[in-house]
Amino acid sequence: IRDSLRYLFLFYFTVIIRNSAIFLSSLNHLINKKRNTMEITLKQLLKSAQEKQIAYASFNAPNYESAKAVVLAAEELQIPFILSHGPGHDCYTDIEHVMDFYRSLTKNLTVDHCFHLDHTSDLSYIEKALKLGFTSVMYDGSHESYEDNVANTINVVAMAI
């Protein structure tokens, strides 16, 4: 019985110490947590990655659940990230709603992040994304002639500035 009690005591003592350490770690994180959003441009995020000689992940998140999973993991691990959306995702959630939940999920984050519109050939869709707050767009003119691709790329750059 004495050995059993000793084992039980050590087990509970270990659990209490472990949980206290987790609590203190969480408390420290909350105390030191920045209160402002860390939304930046893709250019700023890539500059940071280049300086640190690392890469940041871009996640296609066409619905609330997938975006929430990315945001929660990034915040817990304190790793910057990119949330991406493309016109092919509109069958799941349209771009207006996507930006609404991207913003609501990231409003209190303490890690750098940006919103990227991926592989889009429709210039009016790109303009809409920029107005909604996407900080990066990828114009895909691969189906166009070289001349039209260059002209459209120039138009996209002008929209983004």
Token pair for residue 121? 């050939």
User: Residue 16: what are its φ and ψ, rounded to 5°?
Assistant: -65, -45
Token pair for residue 7? 């084992």
Q: Point out the catalytic residue in the list 94, 100, 118, 122.
A: 118
Whether residue 118 lies in the annotated active site: yes
Question: Up-side HSE of residue 152: CA atoms within 13 Å toward CB?
Answer: 21
Token pair for residue 70? 């990315």
Token pair for residue 11? 């087990």
Query: What positions carry a catalytic annotation?
Result: 118
